[in-house]
Amino acid sequence: MKRLKVSLLTKVVIAIAAGVLFGQFLPNGIARIFVTFNSLFGNFLSFSIPLIILGLVTPAIGDLGKGAGKLLAITALIAYGSTIFSGFFTFFSSSAIFPHILPANAELTAMDNPEDFMLQPYFTVGMPPLMDVMTALLLSFTVGLGLSYISGNALREAFNDFQKIITILIEAVIIPLLPLHIFGIFLNMTVSGQVMSIITMFLKVIVVIFVLHVLLLLIQFTIAGTVSGKNPFRLLKNMLPAYATALGTQSSAATIPVTLAQTIKNGVRETIAIFVIPLCATIHLSGSTMKITACAMAIMYMAGEPVTFASLAGFIMMLGITMVAAPGVPGGAIMAALGLLQSMLGFNETLQALMIALYIAMDSFGTACNVTGDGAIAVVVDKIAGKQQSTANVSE
């Protein structure tokens, strides 16, 4: 008999519902068992974050610096620009919307002094990370850039093996345990009386992010249509099969064949599409950046934290780089971003768990936005490459 595969999103939804349900009647003594697991898992996650950054970001930057020269640089720059635009577009949009739909009296008071409201674990085990998050980021950028310039392969192969270890850690340990962790968080928040504020916030934020995704795609294809002289709505319509496929697969990599076929249908030369689409599946995560930025801002509003341009600008710019390292598994982008949430926005264990749950609830829509936007970038790169080729022919 074939084993039924349950998606991560379904598991997270079940975990949230079960946490709210069992929190109504489960004795505190039993509930604290799950709180103890949360403490252990949260500490392990904190230990793993620098390793995740080092293992994913370093080889990603090292590989990005090799190969196709000027065309690679152009594509990477456009992809990063699109990702950063998505982050700042989300910031200004959310700043205008969230204060009206997430009122101040719905603050997560339990997040300020959790020991006064929430159940505490029976015991804790310290798991100090090998280095802090910023050190891991700087080391990753330094070594990654170095790998892109040197000719030797020994260190590159070592980091490629380390990347495989970290990917296994995420896929086989962290992701499978996330639903249980989220169950414990919502169980504890039900006991503290905060859960209804969270559920209401989730629903509102999901609606806002979906609308912003649609607007972002319209902007991306309007720009692509303007640059290429093509009808932007026809370009976007042709990419809808890729959008629908990504909704089902929740994976940019798994959607590449469909994205590639629809991009060629938009008139992009096959040689350009074959180069741009697989590359952008790795480095262009505008939809994921939008989700992370919006979710982080919503949680900060709910927790009564100040949300300012100064505090989010650096986060968004660093997030654009960190997204290059997001592994091709459901929830991979948020795993890569946890270090920034912790170091730059001060997210503790509970806020990180809420962030993961809210992100995964929108995972398929973010992936669909990512791959659809890849088609817009391919149209722009195709136009730029055509101009460069024409200039080269004239000069000859």
| Cβ neighbours of residue 362 closer than 8 Å, sequence gap 6 or more | 206, 209, 210, 291, 295
Q: Say how many C-beta atoms besides its own lie within 10 A of residue 72's C-beta.
A: 17
C-alpha distances out from residue 69 to 72, 111, 227, 239, 313, Å? 5, 48, 22, 28, 30
Q: pLDDT tens digits for the chain (396 residues)?
A: 445 566 666 787 888 889 888 988 888 888 889 889 988 988 888 788 788 878 877 887 776 655 545 777 788 889 889 999 999 999 999 999 988 887 654 545 544 444 455 678 888 888 888 887 778 878 887 888 788 778 778 888 898 899 889 888 888 888 788 888 888 888 887 877 767 767 777 788 888 988 999 999 999 999 999 998 899 999 999 998 988 888 766 667 668 888 888 999 999 888 888 888 877 877 788 888 999 999 899 888 877 788 889 889 989 988 888 776 565 555 667 877 888 888 888 888 778 888 888 787 777 788 889 889 999 999 999 888 876 554 444 344
- How many Å apart are CA 353 and CA 335, to the nearest integer? 11
The answer to whether 162 touches 143, Cβ cutoff 8 Å, is no
In the chain, what is the greatest distance between 2 CA atoms, to the nearest angstrom? 81
The 3-class secondary structure across 255-308, one letter per residue, is CHHHHHHHHHHCCCCHHHHHHHHHHHHHHCCHHHHHHHHHHHHHHHHHCCCCCC
SS3 content of the chain, % helix, strand, coil (to 5): 80, 0, 20
Angle (nearest 5°) at CA 192 between 189 and 193:
90
pLDDT of residue 167: 81
What is the distance between the alpha carbons of residues 306 and 143, in angstroms, rounded to a whole number? Answer: 35
- Quickly tell me which residue has 């100040």 as its tokens: 306
Q: Does the predicted model carry a pTM greater than 0.85?
A: no
Going from N- to C-terminal start, the domains of the chain cover: 8-393
DSSP string, 319-374: HHHHGGG--SSTTHHHHHHHHHHHHHS---HHHHHHHHHHHHHTHHHHHHHHHHHH
Return the CATH fold of 8-393: Proton glutamate symport protein (1.10.3860)
| Residue 331 confidence (pLDDT) | 63
Query: How would you class 291 by CB atoms within 10 Å of its CB: exposed for 0-12, middle for 13-18, buried for 19 or more?
Result: buried
Cβ atoms 56, 325 nearer than 8 A: yes
pLDDT, position 1: 47
Residue bearing tokens 């505090």: 311
Neighbour tally for 390: CB within 10 Å: 10
Q: What's at 110, amino acid-wise? A: A
